[in-house]
Chain A
Amino acid sequence: MVNFMYEERRITAGIIGEIDHHNAAMMRRKIDMELKERVPEEMVFDFERVTFMDSSGVGLIMGRYRLMNEIGGKIIIKNASDRIKKVMKLSGIDKVARML
């Protein structure tokens, strides 16, 4: 599940539950709808309520990073657990996105 919060030119996507290949497809559709509609300058991914993530989550974030890059915006990753950070670091995503 994904909850959205809006401030000025920023969207925060609060992801809830498990990010795997099965769930990522639905999350991607929801997030991309918001991106297309609002064209934000900043896209924040809040991982506070993510209970599981495998490399499908990296694909999800990388894909959104590319979209945001195309429209000149940036992405921020918030509240990722050490375990999730470990998966993300394998991809080098921590070098292109700010991690809070």
Chain B
Amino acid sequence: MKNEMKLSFLSVSENEAFARTAVAAFVAQFNPAIDELADIRTAVSEAVTNAIVHGYKEEKGYVHLTVKVSDDRVVYIQIKDSGCGIKDVKRAMQPLFTTAHDDERAGLGFAVMESFMDKLDVKSKYGYGTKVNMKKILLSSENEEY
């Protein structure tokens, strides 16, 4: 089976929980392991929070989220904003790096995405926005139909 979904929502912090819950509900139809689902939920929360907190800051804009699941149980997630963008992506991705110390950010969002997902790719254009692509391979399902 394969499936795909798209969601666009406003950059308000209430939508952090909405986005990770929606993605988890969508992926749940593929019977992932509990840990796999929790990994995805956490990574989505990080990327969506970044779009809201760093990308748009006080402005309001749309966060676009796409989830695709392929026949071979690979989950592809994209989180996109049209916010301020990142000047130096490599530097931003270093663990503990943050531009929002006052806000008590830990600088670990990208580190969490990297360690909880199988692949992370960040593309950003300063002044235009940021695209985060992540991939998670779901191991074989226990409720396989045959």
Identify the A interface with B (CB < 8 A): 18, 20-22, 24, 28, 52-56, 58-60, 62-63, 83, 86-87, 90-91
Choose from B13, B35, B106 the contact partner of A22 (Cβ within 8 Å).
Answer: B13
Q: Which of B45-53, B76-84, B133-141 contacts A (4 or more CB under 8 A)?
A: B45-53
Which applies to chain A's interface (DSSP): helix, strand, loop or mixed? helix
Residues in A with CB closer than 8 Å to B109 are: 54-55
Question: How far does the Cβ of A54 sit from chain B's closest Cβ, in whole Å?
Answer: 4
Choose from B13, B52, B112 the contact partner of A55 (Cβ within 8 Å).
Answer: B112
Question: How far does the Cβ of A53 sit from chain B's closest Cβ, in whole Å?
Answer: 8
Counted as pairs of residues, one from A and one from B, with CB atoms less than 8 Å apart, the total is 63
Q: How far is the CA of A90 from the CA of B113 in the complex (A)?
A: 11
How many of chain B's residues have a CB under 8 angstroms from any CB in A? 26
Q: In the complex the two chains form, is A87's CB within 8 Å of B42's CB? A: yes
Q: What 10 A-B pairs have minimum CB-CB distances, sorted nearest first?
A: A22-B13, A55-B108, A58-B106, A59-B104, A59-B106, A54-B45, A63-B104, A21-B49, A55-B106, A20-B16
Interface 1/0s, chain B 103-125, versus A by CB < 8 A? 11111110110010000000000
Q: How far is the CA of A55 from the CA of B98 in the complex (A)?
A: 12
The verdict on B144 contacting chain A, using a C-beta distance below 8 Å, is: no
Using a CB-CB cutoff of 8 Å, which residues 30-47 of chain B contact chain A? 35, 38, 41-42, 45-46
